[in-house]
Amino acid sequence: MTTNFEFTRQTKANIADTMDFYMHPEFIPQISPDVFKQVTIKSKDEDTITYEWQGELMRRKVVGVNRVVLNKDAHTIAIETIEMHGGNKGSKMNYSFKELPNGTEIRCTQAMEMGALGFLGKGWWKSICDKELDEQVKRLDAKSSQ
């Protein structure tokens, strides 16, 4: 069962710094330690990163591999779960960034593969994503103030 979410936030950071921030997935356990316990970069080039993550989703230990693809010209980043032990394989998150006079708009759309019982975790996952995005904006704003 695919569950769709959409979130929008604004940061004071410029668009280049914002996109660069999302190309460093090693920060994820610091932002969402309840879900993500460890991130290991498997491969990295200028526009693509593949990383393995270990975590916990609804009290289940999971290990996944995500691919992050940056499209600088379109101001987008696509994240896809390409391997998953414990659920959610095939989940996709897309970030698009729009330059604003005083910063950047961040738009995140998600198509999460939550399995047959996805309706049970929908509210929980939405809450986690809201909290994560708020924390990301806080970190971007703090970085842009330096």
SS3 116: coil
Q: Are 36 and 57 in contact (CB under 8 A)?
A: no
pTM: 0.85
Q: What residues does each domain of the chain span?
A: 2-145
Best CATH choice for the domain 2-145 from the list 3.30.530.20, 3.40.190.10, 1.10.3720.10, 3.40.920.10 = 3.30.530.20
How far is the C-alpha of 116 from the C-alpha of 99, rounded, in Å? Answer: 39
Query: How large is the average pLDDT for residues 28-36?
Result: 87
β partners of residue 27: none
Residue 89 CB neighbour total at 10 angstroms: 15
The region of weakest confidence among 25-34, 71-80, 88-97 is 88-97
